[in-house]
Structure 1
C-alpha cells in the first residue's frame, strides 16, 4: 500500500524541488495533491515534465506501485505512452515484475477507491496571484459538486437522516451500523451481539484523550516532540464535526487498510468541513511511527481508558477471540484477504481482540450522528455511507445557520 508521506510520494524525481512551493500553495498532503488539475499545475508554473510526473505518481499510488516511480518518471514518457508499452518493454526497461505489470496495465485495477468524477475540478481562469486561496476555492468546488451528486443516494439512508434533530439538548437521533451477523463454524459459534442504539453523547464527551500526532503536512516532525496534556474528547469537535476511526490495532493489516481507504478521501472531508481522527487504545510508539503518516495522515489520539471502545459496545468492550472470531469466521477471513490484496504489511504487536469502529460526531454538543461497530474482524464502515452522512450533517448545519439569520442578513 502506497504511503501518504509527501516525501515518499514525490521520491527523488522532478517533483522534489517543488515541495516548498507545494507547501506554500496549500498542496501539503498526498490526497489533496492527487486532485490537482491542469490549471492548478499552471498556477504554480509546473513544467510539462513535472505534470507528467504527477500524473504517473498519482496512477502508481492508486495501485501501490510507487517503487517504480523514479524509473518511470526518468524515462520522460507520459502516462499514456507508458501504458502503451509492451510487457517485455516494461520488464526490460523498468524491471517491473509480471504481477505488477498486470496491475499497471489494468486501468480499472485500483487499490483504493478513486474520488468520484463528480468531484473533479472544473477548468477555471485565475484572476489573482496563485495562493492558498486557490485551495479554498478548490475545496468549495468539491463541496458544491458533492451536494449536487448526493441527491441520488439510497432513499432509506436519506429517510433515516431526514429527521436528524437534537434531543434533550445534546443527542442526535443517530444511526447504528455493523457488519452482518453470519454464523460461524457451521452455526456452532454465534457472532457476538452488538448494540442497536447509538451511544449517548454523555458516554463520549468527557473521555480523556491525548494527541499523539498532528495532522500530517509536508516536512513536519513525525511525532509531537513534547507530550501534550490530556484533554476532554469534546474539545476535538468543539468547533467542527469530526470522524473518529477507532483502531483495534495499528499494526493489523485490516485496520491499516481501513485507515488508508478512509484517509484517501481527505479532500472530500476537508470540503465538508469534517475533521479526521484515529483513536488508539494502546500507546506503542514504534507502532505509531509505522502507522502515521504511511497509512493515516490525520491526527492520532490516545484513549487511555478505552472510553470510545466501550461506547461502541454499549458500555463494555466488544471483544472476540482469534479462533472463534477469525479462524472460524468466513467474513473475517474475507476481510483479511481484501486487505492482503492491497499489498499492506502487518505485524502482531499489541492487543488485537478489542473491536473498533467509527463515530461521526456533530460540532459542539450536538451529539453522535453515526456509529459503526466492527462486528467481524476487519469490518469497515462503508466509505460512501460515511461521506453521505457527513454531507447531510453539513447541509443540516447550513440550514440551521440560514434559519437563524435575520431577514436583513439574507438580503
Structure 2
C-alpha cells in the first residue's frame, strides 16, 4: 500500500526540487497533489518532465507500486509509452515482478478508487458556490441517489432505509442532530453455535462524547512537519476538535492491524472531497505505543491522530461498554471477518501484532459546534468499514444543512 508521505511520493526524481513551491502553493499532501490538472501545473510553472513525473507517480500510487517510481521516471518515458511496453521489457528494464506488471498494465484496477471531483485545491471551509463542491455534487448526485437504500443491509433498524433516515436528518430540540446508526450485518459463526455480539441500535448521546479527554499525538500531515508532536500536549476536550467545523472521527482498533490500516488509507485517500465539504479528519487510538504511531502516520493516515486514554469514544460506540471479541470466535470462526482480512490484504497493507486488538472501533461524523452526532458506524465484525461513499454522502448532507443554517443567519442579519 502506497505511503501518504510526500517525501516518499516524490522520491528522488524531478518533483523533489519542487517541494518548497508545492508547500508554498498549498499542494502539501499526497491526495491533493494527485488531483492537479494542467492548469494547476502551469500556474506553478511545472516543467514537462515534472508533469510527466507526477502522472507516472500518481498512477503508481493508485496501484501500490511506488517502489518503481524512481526507475520508471529515470527511463525518460511517459506513462503511455510505459503502458505499451511488453511484459519482458518491464521485467528486464525495470526489474518489475510479474504480478506487479499485471497490476501496472491493468488500467482499470487500482488499490484506491478514483476521486470524482475536478482537480482543484481548496483551503479552509468551502462554500456551496465553490467550483469543487459544485462539480462534486453534479458528478456524484446520481451515484448517491443509487445508494439511498444501501444502508438497509447495514442499519441495525432494518425497517429504516438510508433515504428515510436522511429525511429525518434535521435539527431537533437543542440543536442536536438525529443521527444514523449503522453496522455490518450479523454473521452466523461455527454453524450457528456462536452468536455474534449485539450492537447498540441507538446513536450515542452528544453529551457522552463532547467532554471526552483526548491528547493530540500528531498534527495534520504537511510537507516537512514533525512526525510526532514534539512536546507532550495537554489533554483537551474532544469538542474542541469539531468546535468550528464538522469532523469525521475514525476510531482505530489497533494501528498495526492490516484491516485498520487499509480502512484508514481508503478514507484518507478521499481527503480532497472532505476538504471540499469542509470536513476535518481525525483518527482516535485507545492505546499509545510510539513506534506504532510512527508506522501508522503518515503512511496510512495523514490526518490528526489523538489518544483517548479512557477509551470513551470506544465505549460510546458500544452503548456505554467496550465492544470486544476474541480471536478464535471473532475472527477464525467468522467468515465475514476473514473476508474483511482478505480485502485488506489485497490492498498491499502490511501488518504487525503489537498492541491490544480485541476492542472494536468504528466511526463518528460529528457536526460543527454542538450540533451533535450525524452518523455512527460500529465495527460489528473485525475489519468492518463504514462504506466510504456512505460517509461522503452523510458529510454532503451535513455540509448542505450547515450552509443553509449559515445563509439563514446572514439573511436575518441583513
TM-score grouping bracket, smaller chain normalisation: over 0.9
Aligned residues: 399
Q: Offset at 1:150? A: 4.4
Q: TM-score, normalised by structure 2?
A: 0.93
2-side partners of 1:343 and 1:369: how far apart? 32
Q: Offset at 1:170? A: 4.4
- Does 2:131 match 1:141? yes
Q: 1:299 aligns with which of 293, 304, 308?
A: 304
Q: Offset at 1:49? A: 0.8
Q: 2:118 aligns with which of 117, 120, 126?
A: 120
Partner of 2:21: 21
Partner of 1:128: none
Q: Which runs of 5+ in 1 are unaligned?
A: 123-130
2-side partners of 1:407 and 1:249: how far apart? 48
Q: Offset at 1:292? A: 0.3
CA shift in 2, pair 1:120/1:330, >3 Å: same
CA shift in 2, pair 1:81/1:300, >3 Å: same
Contact 2:186 2:196 in 1 (8 A): yes
- Which consecutive aligned stretches of 4+ in structure 1 deviate over 6 angstroms post-superposition? 131-137
Contact 1:281 1:306 in 2 (8 A): yes
CA shift in 2, pair 1:234/1:308, >3 Å: same
Q: Offset at 1:132? A: 8.4
Partner of 2:334: 329
Of residues 79-88 and 399-408 in structure 1, the stretch that sits farther from structure 2 once superposed is 399-408
Partner of 1:32: 32
Partner of 2:282: 277
Q: Offset at 1:109? A: 1.2
Q: In the TM superposition, what whole-angstrom CA distance separates every residue of 1:369-389 from its partner, at most 9, and x where no partner exists?
A: 000000000000000000000
Q: TM-score, normalised by structure 1?
A: 0.94
Partner of 1:399: 404
Structure 2 matches for 1:212-291, cutoff 5 A?
A: 212-291=217-296
Contact 1:283 1:302 in 2 (8 A): yes
CA shift in 2, pair 1:112/1:92, >3 Å: same
Partner of 1:341: 346
Of residues 147-156 and 382-391 in structure 1, the stretch that sits farther from structure 2 once superposed is 147-156
Q: In the TM superposition, what whole-angstrom CA distance separates every residue of 1:143-199 from its partner, at most 9, and x where no partner exists?
A: 111222443323442432232223341431110000010101111111111011111
CA shift in 2, pair 1:151/1:343, >3 Å: closer
- Does 2:200 match 1:210? no
Structure 2 matches for 1:178-217, cutoff 5 A?
A: 178-217=183-222
2-side partners of 1:134 and 1:293: how far apart? 21
Q: Offset at 1:407? A: 6.5
Partner of 1:163: 168
Partner of 1:4: 4
- Pairwise CA RMSD: 2.0
SS at match of 1:245: strand
Partner of 1:125: none
Partner of 2:314: 309
